[in-house]
Amino acid sequence: MTEQMRAWTFSKRGRPQDVLTLGSVAKPTITSPDQVLIKVACTSLFSSYKAIMALLPVSASQKRIPEAEFSGEIVEYGENVREELKVPGVAVFGLTIPMEPKTELLRFMRNPNGTLTEYIVIRQNLIVPKPANMSFEEASGMAGMGATALQFVDAAKLNAGDYVLVNGGSGAVGMLLLQLLKKVVGPEGKVVATCSGSKKDVVLQYADEAIDYRAHAPVHTYLAQEYGTRKFDAIIDAASTQELYDHSPEYLNEGKLFLDMSAKHPVDRGWQYSDLLPLIANQIKNNFWPAFLGGVPRKYMFISGTPDLKTLQKIRELIEDGTFKGTVDSIWGMDEVIQVRDSHGE
């Protein structure tokens, strides 16, 4: 008889509380020499997965396991994996959704095996050993979030002494961005982040200024007042705030980049296909509407994180040298997934 394991699965698209069930599925086995079998220690809930669950067409005959970010231990390995992984019990972290090359997205859509389960089989180029100075809980969110933060900092093309704004600086990616950015702009530069009032202290561990986005609503007015003279040299938006881009010439230097992480998607509205229309409209407007027809005269870029092996190795180095520190919002048991998904927006 096939060995079974516990897993959360869904067989139709919708909200987690409506479509997720906890049950048994067949334990996966290695089918190619570049794969490893991992006993999952922790899964970090991916901020975009709620939208993926609501939009991804799923066959009723398929039991699809959600989520993608994880940490765990290698139980078995194929003969072609890297030497550093050929150690039963070695602790690793990684991500099951590589976004590059683009064909990997199709592979992900066909593959029903996510990480909200006990065991996963994954290719060796999607994992790296977990540094000893980080816990399984912290490391479970580092692959996708770390790759996204690294890529945005590269794209921002900042120099020492520059000013940078992170909208949504208290989030999973936002905190990693702040940890990197202060090193890039140095003591003469300035890192400013928006967050809720209760998270100002944690944000100020890395940022020079934390702006409570509720106390200073609308934030674009506050920014125009405070940064209308010495403007920013890049803005990274991790919180889907279209008005921030619309008003950006008031506080973003000419020729500098507005980098968007979340494609201005509607947050926590149930995610119907019709919700994509404003998102698509904003993308067209932000990318293509010329300034002489009323478009915003600042360069807009949406970027998607690309967690390949080289990036994962860089993330590991940044954890080891203390640049990247894990931030855990809360820890929940396998049986409590619905509650935690309910309590988080998006």
- Give me the residues that bind ligand NAP (CB under 6 A), please: 47-48, 144, 148, 167-168, 170-174, 194-196, 199, 213, 238-241, 261-262, 303-305
**Of residues 290, 259, 264, the one with CA closest to residue 277:** 264
Nearer to ligand NAP, 66 or 78 (CB): 66
**Of residues 211, 226, 215, the one with CA closest to residue 170:** 211
Q: Identify whether the C-beta of residue 38 lies closer than 8 Å to the C-beta of residue 119.
A: yes
Residues 329 and 22: their CA atoms lie apart, in Å, by 23
Nearer to ligand NAP, 135 or 304 (CB): 304
Nearer to ligand NAP, 11 or 48 (CB): 48
Residues 292 and 279: their CA atoms lie apart, in Å, by 23
**How many residues in total does the chain contain?**
346
The distance of closest approach from Cβ of residue 225 to ligand NAP in the complex, given in angstroms and rounded to an integer, is 17
Nearer to ligand NAP, 35 or 47 (CB): 47
Residues 105 and 27: their CA atoms lie apart, in Å, by 23
The distance of closest approach from Cβ of residue 284 to ligand NAP in the complex, given in angstroms and rounded to an integer, is 18
Residues 312 and 43: their CA atoms lie apart, in Å, by 17
Nearer to ligand NAP, 121 or 223 (CB): 223
**Of residues 178, 117, 133, 126, the one with CA closest to residue 152:** 178
The distance of closest approach from Cβ of residue 318 to ligand NAP in the complex, given in angstroms and rounded to an integer, is 17
Residues near 85 by beta carbon (within 8 Å), at least 6 away in sequence: 36, 74, 77, 92, 124, 127, 129
Residues 278 and 149: their CA atoms lie apart, in Å, by 26
Residues 14 and 275: their CA atoms lie apart, in Å, by 13
The distance of closest approach from Cβ of residue 151 to ligand NAP in the complex, given in angstroms and rounded to an integer, is 8
The distance of closest approach from Cβ of residue 275 to ligand NAP in the complex, given in angstroms and rounded to an integer, is 13
Nearer to ligand NAP, 200 or 316 (CB): 200
Residues 61 and 84: their CA atoms lie apart, in Å, by 38
Strands 4-9 and 21-26, bridge-based pairing: antiparallel
The distance of closest approach from Cβ of residue 139 to ligand NAP in the complex, given in angstroms and rounded to an integer, is 16
Nearer to ligand NAP, 127 or 172 (CB): 172
Query: Nearest residue to ligand NAP, using CB?
Result: 171
Nearer to ligand NAP, 54 or 261 (CB): 261
The distance of closest approach from Cβ of residue 304 to ligand NAP in the complex, given in angstroms and rounded to an integer, is 4
The distance of closest approach from Cβ of residue 118 to ligand NAP in the complex, given in angstroms and rounded to an integer, is 25
Nearer to ligand NAP, 277 or 301 (CB): 301
The distance of closest approach from Cβ of residue 240 to ligand NAP in the complex, given in angstroms and rounded to an integer, is 6
Task: Kindly compute the dihedral angle of the four CA atoms of residues 245, 271, 8, 33, in this order, to the nearest 10 degrees.
Answer: -60
Burial of 242 (0-12, 13-18, 19+ CB in 10 A): middle
- Phi then psi for residue 310, to 5 deg, are -60, -40
